[in-house]
Amino acid sequence: MSAALPTVALGADHAGVGLKASLRAALEAAGHPVLDLGTQGSESVDYPDFAAAVCAAVLEGRARFGVLVCGTGIGMAMAANRQHGIRCAVLHDTTEARLTRAHNDANIAAFGARLTGPEVALDALKTFLATPYEGGRHNRRVGKLSPDWIPPA
C-alpha cells in the first residue's frame, strides 16, 4: 500500500483565481487532498490575506505544502516569507521547482498567473511536490533562515 499523498493548501487573489482552479483540478485528479482557502471570484481582494491563510495551514500542519497564485507570484511570496517557518519561492519552471525543494526545503510554491501558463505551472508544481529535501550540506544554510539564527559579528 502506498503512502497517502500530501495535503496541499491553495490560495489566490483575483488575478490568480483561474490558475488556482486549474491547479486544484489537477491536484484533486492526482489524488491530493486540497484545502482551497480562496478567493473564488474576480472581485478585487488583498493577496496578503490569502497568503496568511495558506501559511497558517502549513504551519499548523493542516497541509504539508502550499500554493499561492497572484498576477506575478511576487507579492504572494513576499507576504508568505514574512511568516517564520515558511520558505516560499516563485516558480517559473521545473528546474526552479526541483532546486528550491532539494536545496531550500521550500514548503510553498508561488505562481504568477500573468506570467506562467497552466501547463508550465502544473509541471513545476508536480516537480515541487515530488522532490525531497536533500538535507546534508543544505541544513546549515536552511537553518540560517530561522528567526533564531544570529549572524556572526
Convert the pLDDT of each residue in 44-70 to its tens digit: 999 999 999 999 999 999 999 999 999
Domains and their CATH numbers in the chain: 8-143 (3.40.1400.10)
Residue whose C-alpha is closest to residue 8's, from 68, 50, 95: 68
Q: Would you give the DSSP letter of residue 75?
A: H
Task: Give the pLDDT mean for 28-57.
Answer: 97
Q: How confident is the model at residue 153 (pLDDT cuts 50, 70, 90)?
A: confident
Is 70 catalytic? The answer is yes
Predicted local distance difference test score (pLDDT) of residue 46: 97
List the catalytic residue out of 14, 32, 55, 70: 70
Q: What digits encode the pLDDT tens for the residues 65-99?
A: 999 999 999 999 999 999 999 999 999 999 999 99
* 77, three cell numbers: 511570496
Query: Which comes out higher in pLDDT, residue 77 or 153?
Result: 77
103 counts as catalytic: yes
Q: What is the pLDDT of residue 105?
A: 97
CB–CB of 56/108 below 8 Å? Answer: no
Confidence grade of residue 2 (pLDDT, cut at 50, 70, 90): low
Return the beta strands (E) in the chain as ranges. Answer: 8-12, 34-36, 65-70, 88-90, 108-112
**CA nearest neighbour of 80 among 11, 133, 146, 128:** 11
Q: Residue 61 — φ and ψ, nearest 5°?
A: 85, 10
Please report how many Cα atoms fall inside a 13 Å half-sphere around the Cα of residue 24, on the Cβ side.
Answer: 19
Q: Can you tell me the mean pLDDT for 97-125?
A: 98
Q: Does the structure show a pLDDT above 60 at 1?
A: no
pLDDT recorded at residue 56: 98
Average pLDDT, the chain: 96
Which of 22, 25, 15, 35 is closest to 112 using CA atoms?
15
